[in-house]
Structure 1
Amino acid sequence: MLRVLTWNLWWRFGDWRARQDAVVAVLREARPDVVCLQEVWVGEEESQVDVLGDLLGMTGVVQLSPSPGRWHRRLGDDRFGIANAVLSRWPIGARTSLVLPAAASEPAERTVLHAVVDAPAGPVPVFTTQLESAPAASATRQEQVRAIVPFVAHHSRYAHPPVVTGDLNAEADSDEVRLLGGHKTAPVVPGLVLVDAWRWADPHDPGWTWDPRNPHVAATCEPGARIDHVLVGAPGAGGTGAVRHVALVGDRPVAGVWPSDHAGVLAVLGP
């Protein structure tokens, strides 16, 4: 079994030190083999990935945003970069990334990070990203998906199907997530289908990763939504990569502290 977790860690907003302790507690309880992260902080001397990796006994790779000005302005601090990252219990054999398109006149600030995890049963191609967040930016997110899917196809020549994760800032029935899946609409790359792991959850569980019970979300006055996703390609021989279980993590406070504004998603993949 392969335990893959995706989670947006909300950079250095709020009481990030207390939140980081809560993040570590959640990850220790969840016991993921691979952790795909968005909005991690990277400084000149230390990065969140290094801190988490040391505490959890994992190795990691990061991809900085090429244009972090939006986050710097929100925090009033430009000393730290913001990045996507992958942590793994096993070695990471290769990594690469792609800068995603942005809306006209906007800086290209989003990326997709690819890492090949050298798992005991064989290499696992893992991808993580964060799409444009503006509610009205579906068209931009669709263009970003059109860049991501060929990138995934090019780097997915393994027995294990691709695992695509991230804060997509879009719900499962949106045009951009349907386009990424490629089975409810014409696929970007013919033959490449990615299935939402949450389809194996309790059908009565909305799976909100953006939940107004969380005070960080309640402060935005936005409705609850499932915007963080794990998608997996068609299972390989013997059920390799088949979804066996899926659940939320970080969806409640730890000793009174909410770890992030997002909940994470943990998917357990077979055989």
Structure 2
Amino acid sequence: MRVMTWNLWWRFGGWERRWKAIRQVLLDVRPDVLGLQEVWSHGDDCLADHLAADLGMYCVRADSDAPGGWQRRLDDPDAHEIGVGNAVLSRWPVVDRARLRLPTDGGRADGRLSLHALIDAPGGRPVPFFTTHLNSGAHESAVRCAQVRALAAFVAEHRAGTDFPPVLTGDYNAWPDSDEMRLLGGLRTAPPVGRQVFLDAWEFAAPGLPAVTWDAANPYVAARRDPSVRIDYVHVGPPGPGNVGHVRSVRRAGDGPVDGVWPSDHLAVVADLALEEED
């Protein structure tokens, strides 16, 4: 099962040209399940729906209930009508869904979300899939820690009924050694939910493989004068019976221009997971 996470940079940076580049990357990668952040919607028109139609996938999405901060940054007379949110696209039916409004006490309140989709994957083991988008301020680590704790409780609430491990994807806006990311692993600090731990898929990457997803090689990032870091993740719970859910490989995607256009300011993460039991 090929899973992917990607922040699509909403309606910033020449979004109409970027849309074509995003579409081409997804057609090349062909993920089975895809977690998206910063997805735009305008009335009944939504980028996630367009991409799902192009890829032949099911789509569920959740829009922010406080998009004003985003809209004020957009130079568009219709900005007040444009929504932002998360989406999950799946090659297989989505049999259940839920959304969580993440806490933002002490930080910018712009309706950050986690979205759950229960995927009716082949083999009779539904896959509990999640995508999330945490606050981005460099000073907001404490806010992100609270958001990770809320996410962990949300996962615990919706992971029952299947022995396929939960799959978490998203833009955490946090470095791998940060307090908020250590909360998910359990080895470096106590997990928010007892005995519920997750593996960072990138730990299974081939040695020397480029890892950063906020990359100064990308002109959108270079213009910010930011360092190159990894802030986008795929996490998976410990493998189930027969090693289902085991990370078989991981890599980046969207890590270069398509016909001269970089698709997003973020690079994507793609992980192949064992869908069936294996020795």
- Structure 1 length as normaliser, TM-score? 0.97
Residue 234 of structure 2: which of 230, 233, 242 is its match? 230
Instruction: Give the CA deviation at 1:206.
Output: 4.5
User: Which residue does the alignment assign to 2:120?
Assistant: 118
Unpaired stretches in structure 1, ≥5 consecutive residues: none
Aligned match of 2:105 in 103, 127, 134? 103
Range with bigger deviation, 160-169 or 149-158: 149-158
Matches within 5 A, 1:78-227: 78-104=80-106, 106-107=108-109, 109-121=111-123, 122-157=125-160, 158-227=162-231
Instruction: Report the Cα offset of residue 106 of structure 1.
Output: 4.2
Decide whether aligned partners of structure 1 residues 9 and 235 sit closer, same or farther in structure 2, where only a CA change above 3 A counts.
same
Structure 1, 182-191 or 251-260: larger mean CA deviation? 182-191
> 105-114 vs 147-156, which deviates more?
105-114
The whole-number CA distance in structure 1 between the counterparts of 2:110 and 2:225 is 28
* Aligned residues of 2:204 and 2:249 also touching (Cα < 8 A): yes
Percent of pairs identical after alignment? 52
Q: 2:24, 2:110 → 1: CA distance?
A: 34
Q: For the structure 1 residues 253 and 105, does the alpha-carbon distance in structure 2 shift closer, same or farther, using more than 3 Å as the test?
A: closer
- Structure 2: segments with no counterpart, 5+ residues: none
Could you list the per-position Cα deviations for residues 25-64 of structure 1 after superposition, in whole angstroms to 9, with x for gaps in the alignment?
A: 1111111000100000011121111100111101101111
Runs of 4+ in 1 over 4 A off after TM superposition: none
TM-score, structure 2 length as denominator?
0.94
The residue aligned with 1:46 is 45
Kindly indicate whether the alpha-carbon contact (under 8 Å) linking 2:184 and 2:198 is maintained by their aligned counterparts in 1.
yes
CA distance in 2, matches of 1:219, 1:106: 23
Distance 1:109 1:203 in 2: 37
Change (3 A) 1:89 1:105: closer
Aligned: 1:13 with 2:15? no
Q: Secondary structure at the match of 2:26?
A: helix
Cα drift, residue 171 of structure 1: 1.3
State whether structure 2 residue 63 is matched by structure 1 residue 59: no
Report the Cα offset of residue 172 of structure 1.
Answer: 1.1
Q: CA deviation at 1:14?
A: 1.2
Q: CA RMSD in A?
A: 1.1
Amino acid at match of 2:228: G
Is the 8 Å Cα contact of residues 97 and 117 (structure 2) preserved in structure 1?
yes
Q: Name the CA distance, whole Å, in 1 between partners of 2:201 and 2:49.
A: 28
1:123-147: CA deviation from partner (whole Å, max 9, x where unpaired): 1000000101001110000010111
Q: Deviations over 1:137-185 (max 9, x none)?
A: 1000001011110110111111110000100000111110010222321
Q: Could you report, residue by residue, the CA deviation over 1:163-221 in whole angstroms, capped at 9, with x for unpaired residues? A: 00100000111110010222321011111010100001123235110001100000100
Change (3 A) 1:135 1:105: closer
Quote the Cα distance in structure 1 between the aligned partners of 2:6 and 2:225.
21
Amino acid at match of 1:137: E
SS in structure 2 of the partner of residue 75 of structure 1: coil
